Amino acid sequence: MFSVNEKVLFENGQEGYVSRIRDMLKIEYGESPKASVVTFGCQQNVSDSEHLKGILFSLGYSITDNLEEADFIIYNTCAVREHAQDRVYGNIGKVKGYKKKKPNLIAAVCGCMAQQEIVAEKIKKSYPYIDIVFGTQVSHRLPEFIYKRLSGSKRIFELSLPNEPIVEDVPVLRDGKFKGWLPIMNGCNNFCTYCIVPYVRGRERSREPQKILDEAKAMIEAGYKEITLLGQNVNSYGKGCEHGVTFAKLLRMINDIEGDFVIRFMTSHPKDCTEELLETIRDCKKVSRHLHLPFQSGSSRILKLMNRYYDRETYLSLIKKAKELIPDVSLTSDIIVGFPGETYEDFKETLSLVKEVEFSSLFTFIYSPRNNTPAASMPDIISRKEKGKWFDELLRLQEEIAEKNIEKYIGKTYRVICDDFGSSEGYMSGHTNGTAVVEFKADEEMLGRFVDIKINSYEGVFKGEIIN
Ligand code: 5AD
Ligand code: SF4
């Protein structure tokens, strides 16, 4: 993979298509063909889309956010909850209108939702204007798909899930100039009973440590100040590989790269979060003191039904250990409300866990049944309305905790990267090691630089000032 925002060529078997496609695009669309990538879902998808953009750029397309002017549109989809899927159907329905105005437009759908056979079938039947559909493990073959379609082939459906090593040498065009995603693994072997990910992304596969280090180095040289390592379950990085590099070791290796930068990572599974990892976070200066550790439910009974391989007590002792070893650690988590069979008593255990741990922020979801997952056939008698009430109760509790903890930030100094513009002119924002946003006065040229910010007050967001 490459981390620089410039044209790079493939070395992964797809290179033969590049010059042929460039010539074909010129004939079909003129000198400057345009492509749009529409992304749904998680950071992994955002990162995958950056690779799709890299491929399209290498083929000669310029990237645009304006779908009306695009000659090629690709929808990179998410399947983790029903709502995400509904949004995708709404969006791809618009392609019909775009094609009326631009008959030679090519439209593609890829990603986790497209990987499901039932979805691919629906697109085949009900969305005849979608030209190309492909799954999560073959996206490096986009040049081949575009070449075939430009050559007049029938609609393309490629849903194989070969579970082969992650393909390297895919160009990438990153959205950010100083904060970037770096995928280290893909897939999941855990089969939590509610989750569709293992079915649509396939088995866990880790990239070679050297490839990751090379890419991290290239990113740092290109000016990236924050690198977020990505994987469905980063803690199990390297499992089953000959190289013997654990996730903790990988973190140390990246931490040793010269330069001033921050390393973040997500997502961690509590069952694989070792003391070695906690010590690594403590010891490595460049690793952010932030742990996203989804617990999903505070009830051991529900955790068993979810197939999570830990119980409430084990999770809480892990948190205790994390707080002991890294006193300034910021904790965040994912929670599912209304898993099949969950009672209000179970839910109260989620509330009490949230109260006990005091997370800096939470990502909360109402359970959504997913096709062919074990939980989808478990009895689920609690109404959606009732689950909604529980969900609101959880949000209120988290708000109270956040409000109570505001004081803890005031007067403290954080090293942040100047990001975006603040809510008014002359202001910028930054993220503390957790997820708190702080706004401060800064000039435009500070963008992407590290600054020490002292937090002075809270007015909807934290307000602070540069002290160096
Ligand atoms: N319903 C609701 N939330 C889900 N998640 C995963 N699958 C489902 C589902 N079927 C949530 C989990 C996971 C996060 C990425 O999405 O909390 O950690
Ligand atoms: Fe889904 Fe569980 Fe794997 Fe996370 S660890 S992707 S929730 S199966």
Ordered DSSP codes for 333-396: EEEEES-TT--HHHHHHHHHHHHHH--SEEEEEE----TT-GGGGS---S-HHHHHHHHHHHHH
Average pLDDT score, the chain: 94
Q: Which ligand is nearest to the CA of 342?
A: 1
Q: Which ligand is nearest to the CA of 391?
A: 1
Instruction: Give pLDDT, residue 98.
Output: 97
Q: Which ligand is nearest to the CA of 334?
A: 1
pLDDT at 295 over 70: yes
Q: What is the DSSP string of 12-63?
A: SS-HHHHHHHHHHHHHHH-S--EEEEEE-SSHHHHHHHHHHHHHHHHTTPEE
pLDDT at 138 over 60: yes
User: Ligand 1: which residue has its CA nearest to atom 13?
Assistant: 334
Q: Which ligand is nearest to the CA of 78?
A: 1
Reported as type and span, the H/E element at residue 419 is: strand 419-421
Residue range 139-156: mean pLDDT, rounded: 95
Cα(118) to ligand 1 centroid in Å equals 20
Residue range 190-209: mean pLDDT, rounded: 97
Residue range 144-166: mean pLDDT, rounded: 94
pLDDT at 9 over 70: no
Q: What is the DSSP string of 246-301?
A: -HHHHHHHHHTSSSS-EEEEE---GGG--HHHHHHHHH-TTB-SEEE---B-S-HH
Listed residue (347, 348, 345, 338) closest to 379, CA to CA: 338
Residue given tokens 């709502």 in the structure block = 83
> Quick one: CA torsion of 351, 357, 361, 366, rounded to 10 degrees?
-30
Instruction: Give pLDDT, residue 194.
Output: 98
276 band by pLDDT with thresholds 50, 70 and 90: very high
1 band by pLDDT with thresholds 50, 70 and 90: very low
Residue range 144-165: mean pLDDT, rounded: 94
Instruction: Give pLDDT, residue 5.
Output: 42
390 or 8: which carries more pLDDT confidence? 390
Q: Is the CB of 292 under 6 A from ligand 2?
A: no
Instruction: Give pLDDT, residue 65.
Output: 96
pLDDT at 444 over 90: no
Q: Is the CB of 188 under 6 A from ligand 2?
A: yes
Q: Is the CB of 380 under 6 A from ligand 1?
A: no
Instruction: Give pLDDT, residue 352.
Output: 98
Cα(43) to ligand 1 centroid in Å equals 14
Residue range 49-57: mean pLDDT, rounded: 96
Residue given tokens 């855990």 in the structure block = 190
Q: Is the CB of 374 under 6 A from ligand 2?
A: no
Instruction: Determine what percent of the chain is predicted with pLDDT higher than 90.
Output: 91
pLDDT at 34 over 80: yes
Please list, in sequence order, all residues whose beta carbon lies within 8 angstroms of the beta carbon of residue 405, skipping any fewer than 6 positions away.
358, 360
Cα–Cα dist 80/404, whole Å: 32
8 band by pLDDT with thresholds 50, 70 and 90: low
Residue given tokens 């409430």 in the structure block = 312
Cα(191) to ligand 1 centroid in Å equals 12
Count of Cβ atoms closer than 10 Å to residue 6 Cβ: 11
208-241, pLDDT tens digit by residue?
Answer: 999 999 999 999 999 999 999 999 999 999 998 9
Instruction: Give pLDDT, residue 2.
Output: 40
∠ CA 41-45-46, rounded to 5°: 95
16 or 99: which carries more pLDDT confidence? 99
Nearest atom in ligand 1 to 42's CA: 15
pTM: 0.95
> Quick one: CA torsion of 5, 78, 396, 270, rounded to 10 degrees?
-80
Cα–Cα dist 380/342, whole Å: 8
Instruction: Give pLDDT, residue 10.
Output: 67
Instruction: Determine what percent of the chain is predicted with pLDDT higher than 70.
Output: 97
- Contact between 144 and 15 under an 8 Å Cβ cutoff? The reply is no
349 band by pLDDT with thresholds 50, 70 and 90: very high
Residue given tokens 């649509």 in the structure block = 200
442 band by pLDDT with thresholds 50, 70 and 90: very high
Distance from first CA to last CA of the chain, Å, rounded? 36
Residue range 339-355: mean pLDDT, rounded: 98
pLDDT at 6 over 60: no
Residue 372: which region, alpha, beta or left (left: phi > 0; alpha: psi -120 to 50)? left
Instruction: Give pLDDT, residue 468.
Output: 74
Q: Is the CB of 175 under 6 A from ligand 1?
A: no
